[in-house]
Amino acid sequence: MTQGKFLLWRLIVLHLLLGAAVFAQSPAQSTRYRISGQVRDAAGRDVAGAKVCAARVGSPPGEGIQCTRSMADGQFTLRLARAGHYLVIVSKDTDGYMPQVLPFFKHSAYLPPEVTLDDENDSASASPILAPKNGALTVRALDAKTLLPVEDFRVIMCRTDMQAACFASSGKNAEGRLKLFVAHTPFTLRITADSYEDWLGLNGAPKMPVSIASGEALEVEVYLRRRDAAFNQPLSETEKQVGVNLPAPVQLSPAGGAVFDHYPRKTTLEWAAVEGAASYTVEVDFCRGGETGKTDCVNPQPHRLRNMPLMTGIQLTSYEFNFLGAQPGRWRVWAVDKEGREGFKSQWRAFAYTR
C-alpha cells in the first residue's frame, strides 16, 4: 500500500475508532456484493464480537465503510452495495485490540486483508487476524497550583520508529482522567491544555520515550503548570465566583436528549441572553456511536471540522453547524463579559442523530 493511501485510511479509521458515522446499509439498497470469513486471534482461536469493517479504498473519509460483528465462532458476513477494492479491518477497541490500519497502533506482523469486488467476482473471502492487545495508559491531569483536576486536556503520542505515526485523544471529564491504548513500540508523550504549559513524557522529561508491553497497563498523574498570563485566572468552574463571573446561559434548543433523523445534519443551538454578556462561546463534542437513538456520550471528542463556524465571539444567542455523523453529541455554552472574563458554563446537553 502506498504512503498516500495509508494516510488516507488512517484518517478514515480514526473517524471509525472515535465513533464517527459509519454508512450502514439501508434495506432499500442493493447488497449484491459480499465479503465473508472468520476472525481469529494471533493464537488461531476464534474471536467473537470483533468489529469487522470493509472500507472501500478511494472513498472520502467517513464514507464507503460497512461494519458488522463476528459471531461466536468468529464467522462474519459483510453485504455491500458497491464494487471496489476493500480493506477488511478488524478490531475490539474497547478491549484494547486496536485497528491495524492506524499507523500508531500497527503491529509489524499484521496487515489487514485486501479484496476486490467487481461484476465478475461479487463475493470474496477474508481471514483477518486480531493483532495482540495494545498496552493501556491512564493519565490523570491535575492543576499544579490548585491540585484540582484539569477537566479538558489532550494527549498526543507519536511512535519513535515511524515518522508521523501519531495518535491524539482528548480527556473531557470532571475527574481529569483519560484511558487510552498505546503503540506496541516506544512512543513519545505530550499532554496539552489551554492556559497550561505542555507536559512531556511520564515525568516531564521529553527525551525519555514511553514503553508499555502488550496487555499491560500504566497509570500516571501529571501536574500541569499554568502559563504566566493565566496564573491568577479561574481555569475551572470551581474557581469562578458568583457576582464576578456571569451566570450560565439558559439552554433553549434542542431539548435535552433530542433525537434527529434528518440529513444533512444541520443543527441549531439556541440559548437565552445573559445580561452583561459581550459575546458567547459554544462547545460541541461528538461521542462514540452506539445503539441507534441513544444519547449517552461515550468518549467525547471536540467537534472541530473544516469550515465549521467559529465557536467564540458569538454575538447572537444561537449557533448553527453541520454535525459530524449518525451518533450522539453534546453541547454547552457560556457568556464572556466586556473584560474578557468567562462566565459559568451551562450543563452539557445531549442529542443524537440516527442517520
Domain boundaries, the chain: 3-92+109-130, 136-230, 240-353
Cis peptide before 247 (omega within 30 of 0): no
CB atoms within 10 A of CB 26: 9
Yes or no: say if 333 and 284 are a contact pair by the CB < 8 Å rule: no
Measure the CA–CA gap between 219 and 210, rounded to whole angstroms.
12
Instruction: Write down the architecture of domain 136-230 according to CATH.
Output: Sandwich (2.60)
Structural contact between residues 232 and 330, judged by C-beta atoms closer than 8 angstroms: no
Peptide bond preceding 61 in cis form (omega within 30 of 0): no
Please determine whether the domains at 3-92+109-130 and 240-353 fall in the same fold group of CATH: yes
> Sorting pLDDT into bands at 50, 70 and 90, what band is 207?
confident
Name the pLDDT band for 14 (thresholds 50, 70, 90): very low
The residue-averaged pLDDT of 194-212 equals 90
What is the Cα–Cα distance from 18 to 7, expressed in whole angstroms? 17
d(CA 43, CA 96): 17
Distance, in Å, from the CA atom of 256 to the CA atom of 202, rounded to the nearest integer, reads 39
The pLDDT, as a whole number, for residue 191 is 97
Query: What mean pLDDT is predicted for residues 271-297?
Result: 87
For residue range 215-264, list pLDDT tens digits in order.
Answer: 999 999 999 999 998 998 898 898 999 999 999 999 999 999 999 999 99
pLDDT at 137: 98
Is pTM beyond 0.75? Reply is yes
Please name the fold of domain 240-353.
Immunoglobulin-like (2.60.40)
69-90 burial by CB neighbour count: b if 16+ within 10 A, else e?
Answer: ebbeebebebbbeebbebbbbb
CATH number for region 3-92+109-130: 2.60.40.10
Where do the H-state alpha helices sit in the chain?
Answer: 3-17
